[in-house]
Chain A
């Protein structure tokens, strides 16, 4: 194997003498050595999530479930029971669901309705419950719902494949060539899928097992998942980039030591970046309106998971992969 040239960019800087490179002052935690603990923590959350997804599915938002959804706000602040009985009494909405969103605020769902039927329903509700303001009406047919899901899945698959190849290309110049590149890419992909399954699994549990409305899946949730994919890979690449760099000039260290060192060196950055994003999301989650709450929660879970997986899963996985398939 041709030895990699020693830090070519160093010369471009016009430095006269390389300062003595001390061991960077970072606290040493043996993350690689304890990798099984971290894998176990991840599996502990992901497996129940996958079970929940497989057996119970998701609480579907209107854009996936299809049907008509009225978002209304009653001036006289009626009780849930009052609204429910009014909805059940109207033949057009009988069998529909009622969800309270705030004082006087309700979401009412029914089967698909024509505009004329919608107007009838609105009149009826006003008559039976009291004056109200219709804030939003969404009507979704089955075609669009199916297409949204198909598009989202297609996008996820394409994005995953693209990321795998991008990493393989970018990391093929580490010792080991293309095979090493695919090890890096594959580990990043695994961390990415970890985040996707953890997030979707948790939402399945929240929506179906715990029956919380915040666990509802809609197109904003799809946006959140895809954002998390972006962030997760972002974090992972930063760690991997450091591994790539350290592999070049810390040739005395074993692969595991290099990986552990790189994680330690980048941990501050990963945590700081995620921390700022988490602060913003927490603010939205606490003060934001109902439309954005589920979205903010999804992003929050995903970003935390993405940071966790890039530190505790992606790199340890790379080490495991190297052991199984050694590269020389």
Chain B
């Protein structure tokens, strides 16, 4: 099998891989520099661009700076698939996060039972993030009932009353343009339970205030965020009501204490007719912007579950940049120490191994970009460590090579024998590392998974680099060149015992 390694097809393949790797490594930088874009991250129109897919090194939060939050989902609405609920929650969080203008927010489901969500937001403080996401707001529907004590407020003489319809009953809300093509509406579609409740409500409302196209308080349905019974009990206090009736304020709501009063009002709509089938339209003098805002509000106002924060990590961008610098410096320092050492100690083979190491580094970085692997501090460590393992395979071969030369083989024969004899050790030791990587990748905590992925990729590429690239370079240099002098091979022939 190892004979095949020295064949020309394999050599061409390796050259092909090298060229492709260098292309991937360099891709995009000319464009970025020419257009004054930052050197990392998603930028518009970056070539090569296949349907928005871009090639660049993805940095983890500990390097880029930002906030990481793990949420536990509790209070699942009964009778719905947990996976669906989790997906809906992720969508809601996505919408809320969009308002922060984060580039590449990462919101992933996790947990054995679809009961976790992990959020990674670059460049956002923990406070901003939690304010925006953690707004545990729930959409509440109310109707209006007569109360003589209420003299002021949006509907004098009436106060709101819960109707048993909440955000859990809404499937989605969308902004659409109406049939005339000029005004904007908001479409709401209810779940099957919501559709039934809504049907009854609208029927009762129309019956309570009969007549076609009448607009009376008894017909109105109002949507609030987080409206509580306490708020309704305070409806007689005009100043309290004016605060509640203000447009909803998620920032205030997420930070509220028992004493603050936040705006909770979303929309107040008149029911024109009974609506069966679960599709309602809110009309009004909406512009595209205001209709979209309302739809987003309805969607993002209604988290189907309660979110409980498990842990939060916030990394300042300076600390992240510092970490990048340090790990880059450590990596370069390590690489140059290794290269220097190999050349001094092993001479020509050491130089060839260093060239192979450059192939290795180029190929691994290309894989990181293509997959893409999100690099974290632990991930970079895995990469640096795999450099050590790549060198180890070469050291094994070269030490063996020296032994074989001392044992009296010709240099060409010694190269072959060294690779063959070193192979079982290289194979078995790397297999054990790979197995460890696979286990860590599956059961390790998230920080360790990044490490396992980069180390695993590094180990595989290092095997190819040591066995195929170094071996080929050695074989090419060895065929009838002036370099075949033992002194250049790092072997002291006089030490021969034969």
Q: Which residues of A contact B (CB under 8 A)?
A: 9, 12-13, 15, 19-25, 63, 71, 115-116, 118-119, 133-141, 143-144, 147-148, 151-152, 154-155, 158-159, 162-163, 166-167, 170, 219-220, 222-223, 226-227, 229-230, 233-235, 237-238, 241-242, 244-245, 265-266, 268-269, 272-273, 276-277, 279-280, 283-284, 287-289, 291-292, 295
- In the complex, chain B residues whose CB is within 8 Å of the CB of A162: 435-436, 439
- In the complex, chain B residues whose CB is within 8 Å of the CB of A291: 319, 323, 377
- In the complex, chain B residues whose CB is within 8 Å of the CB of A273: 388, 391-392, 395
B444 touches A234 (CB 8 A): no
Count of inter-chain pairs, beta carbons less than 8 A = 223
Q: Shortest distance in angstroms between B334's beta carbon and chain A's nearest beta carbon?
A: 4
- In the complex, chain B residues whose CB is within 8 Å of the CB of A276: 337-338, 341, 388, 391
Looking at chain B's contact residues, the main secondary structure is helix
Q: Does B72 contact A (CB under 8 A)?
A: yes
User: What are 13 pairs between A and B in contact, CB < 8 Å?
Assistant: A9-B421, A21-B407, A22-B498, A133-B318, A134-B314, A138-B312, A162-B439, A220-B447, A230-B437, A241-B428, A269-B392, A276-B337, A291-B323
A118 touches B425 (CB 8 A): no
Q: In the bound complex, what is the Cα–Cα distance between A227 and B436 (angstroms)?
A: 9
Q: Does B440 contact A (CB under 8 A)?
A: yes
- In the complex, chain B residues whose CB is within 8 Å of the CB of A25: 406, 495, 497
Q: In the bound complex, what is the Cα–Cα distance between A295 and B380 (angstroms)?
A: 13
- In the complex, chain A residues whose CB is within 8 Å of the CB of B455: 227, 230
- In the complex, chain B residues whose CB is within 8 Å of the CB of A22: 407-408, 497-498
Q: Does B424 contact A (CB under 8 A)?
A: yes
B429 touches A234 (CB 8 A): yes
Which A-chain residue is minimally distant from B131 (CB atoms)? A115
A15 touches B413 (CB 8 A): yes
CB within 8 Å for A140 and B311 given contacts A227-B385, A238-B429, A273-B392: yes
Q: In the bound complex, what is the Cα–Cα distance between A24 and B421 (angstroms)?
A: 15
A268 touches B444 (CB 8 A): no
Which A-chain residue is minimally distant from B497 (CB atoms)? A22
Q: Does B399 contact A (CB under 8 A)?
A: yes
The 8 Å CB contact of A24, one of B381, B385, B403, B416, is B403
CB 8 Å contact bits of B126-140 with A (1 = contact, 0 = none) = 110011001000000
Q: Does B276 contact A (CB under 8 A)?
A: no
Q: In the bound complex, what is the Cα–Cα distance between A154 and B498 (angstroms)?
A: 53
Q: Does B267 contact A (CB under 8 A)?
A: no
- In the complex, chain B residues whose CB is within 8 Å of the CB of A12: 3, 420
Within 300-349 of B, Cβ neighbours of A (below 8 Å) are at 309-316, 318-319, 322-323, 326-327, 329-330, 333-334, 337-338, 341, 345
- In the complex, chain B residues whose CB is within 8 Å of the CB of A283: 330, 333-334, 337
Which A-chain residue is minimally distant from B392 (CB atoms)? A273
CB within 8 Å for A234 and B313 given contacts A223-B378, A223-B447: no
A280 touches B333 (CB 8 A): yes
Q: Does B448 contact A (CB under 8 A)?
A: yes
B319 touches A71 (CB 8 A): yes
**Further 15 A-B residue pairs, CB within 8 A, beyond A158-B443, A241-B429:** A13-B413, A20-B408, A20-B498, A25-B495, A136-B315, A152-B448, A155-B444, A162-B435, A223-B447, A227-B385, A227-B455, A241-B428, A272-B345, A276-B391, A291-B323
A289 touches B310 (CB 8 A): no
Which B-chain residue is minimally distant from A147 (CB atoms)? B445
- In the complex, chain A residues whose CB is within 8 Å of the CB of B498: 19-20, 22
A237 touches B428 (CB 8 A): yes
- In the complex, chain A residues whose CB is within 8 Å of the CB of B409: 19
- In the complex, chain A residues whose CB is within 8 Å of the CB of B384: 280
The 8 Å CB contact of B399, one of A15, A268, A289, is A268
A138 touches B314 (CB 8 A): yes
CB within 8 Å for A220 and B316 given contacts A137-B126, A163-B435, A289-B323: no
Q: Across the A-B interface, give the 5 residue pairs with the lowest CB-CB distance, nearest first.
A: A280-B334, A241-B425, A139-B312, A19-B408, A135-B316
The 8 Å CB contact of B431, one of A166, A277, A279, is A166
Residue among B126, B403, B455 with max Cβ neighbours from chain A (10 Å): B126
Which A-chain residue is minimally distant from B1 (CB atoms)? A12
Q: Which residues of B contact A (CB under 8 A)?
A: 3, 70, 72, 126-127, 130-131, 134, 255, 309-316, 318-319, 322-323, 326-327, 329-330, 333-334, 337-338, 341, 345, 377-378, 381-382, 384-385, 388-389, 391-392, 395-396, 399, 403, 406-409, 413, 416-417, 420-421, 424-425, 428-433, 435-437, 439-440, 443-445, 447-448, 451, 455, 495, 497-498
Q: In the bound complex, what is the Cα–Cα distance between A210 and B315 (angstroms)?
A: 29
CB within 8 Å for A154 and B443 given contacts A276-B337, A291-B323: yes
Q: In the bound complex, what is the Cα–Cα distance between A230 and B134 (angstroms)?
A: 41
Q: In the bound complex, what is the Cα–Cα distance between A166 and B318 (angstroms)?
A: 44
- In the complex, chain B residues whose CB is within 8 Å of the CB of A268: 399
Q: Shortest distance in angstroms between B339's beta carbon and chain A's nearest beta carbon?
A: 10
A115 touches B126 (CB 8 A): yes
The 8 Å CB contact of B439, one of A148, A159, A292, is A159
The 8 Å CB contact of B420, one of A13, A135, A272, A288, is A13
The 8 Å CB contact of B433, one of A13, A63, A116, A230, is A230
Which A-chain residue is minimally distant from B403 (CB atoms)? A24
Q: In the bound complex, what is the Cα–Cα distance between A220 and B382 (angstroms)?
A: 11
Which A-chain residue is minimally distant from B435 (CB atoms)? A162
- In the complex, chain B residues whose CB is within 8 Å of the CB of A233: 429, 432-433, 436
A137 touches B396 (CB 8 A): no
A223 touches B451 (CB 8 A): yes
Which A-chain residue is minimally distant from B323 (CB atoms)? A291
Which A-chain residue is minimally distant from B316 (CB atoms)? A135
A118 touches B436 (CB 8 A): no
A288 touches B330 (CB 8 A): yes
- In the complex, chain A residues whose CB is within 8 Å of the CB of B313: 136-140
- In the complex, chain B residues whose CB is within 8 Å of the CB of A137: 126, 312-314
Which A-chain residue is minimally distant from B417 (CB atoms)? A13
Q: In the bound complex, what is the Cα–Cα distance between A115 and B314 (angstroms)?
A: 11
A284 touches B408 (CB 8 A): no
Residue among A148, A222, A223 with max Cβ neighbours from chain B (10 Å): A223
Q: Shortest distance in angstroms between B378's beta carbon and chain A's nearest beta carbon?
A: 5
Q: Shortest distance in angstroms between A156's beta carbon and chain B's nearest beta carbon?
A: 9
- In the complex, chain A residues whose CB is within 8 Å of the CB of B430: 234
- In the complex, chain B residues whose CB is within 8 Å of the CB of A241: 424-425, 428-429
A226 touches B448 (CB 8 A): yes
CB within 8 Å for A24 and B407 given contacts A118-B126, A144-B310, A268-B399: yes
Q: In the bound complex, what is the Cα–Cα distance between A279 and B330 (angstroms)?
A: 11
Which B-chain residue is minimally distant from A241 (CB atoms)? B425
The 8 Å CB contact of A265, one of B403, B420, B440, is B403
- In the complex, chain B residues whose CB is within 8 Å of the CB of A163: 432, 435-436
Residue among A24, A133, A272 with max Cβ neighbours from chain B (10 Å): A272
Q: Shortest distance in angstroms between A61's beta carbon and chain B's nearest beta carbon?
A: 11
CB within 8 Å for A295 and B381 given contacts A24-B406, A233-B433, A280-B333: yes
The 8 Å CB contact of A13, one of B330, B388, B391, B416, is B416
CB within 8 Å for A118 and B399 given contacts A138-B313, A291-B377: no
B448 touches A223 (CB 8 A): yes
B322 touches A219 (CB 8 A): no
CB within 8 Å for A159 and B440 given contacts A230-B432, A234-B429, A276-B338: yes
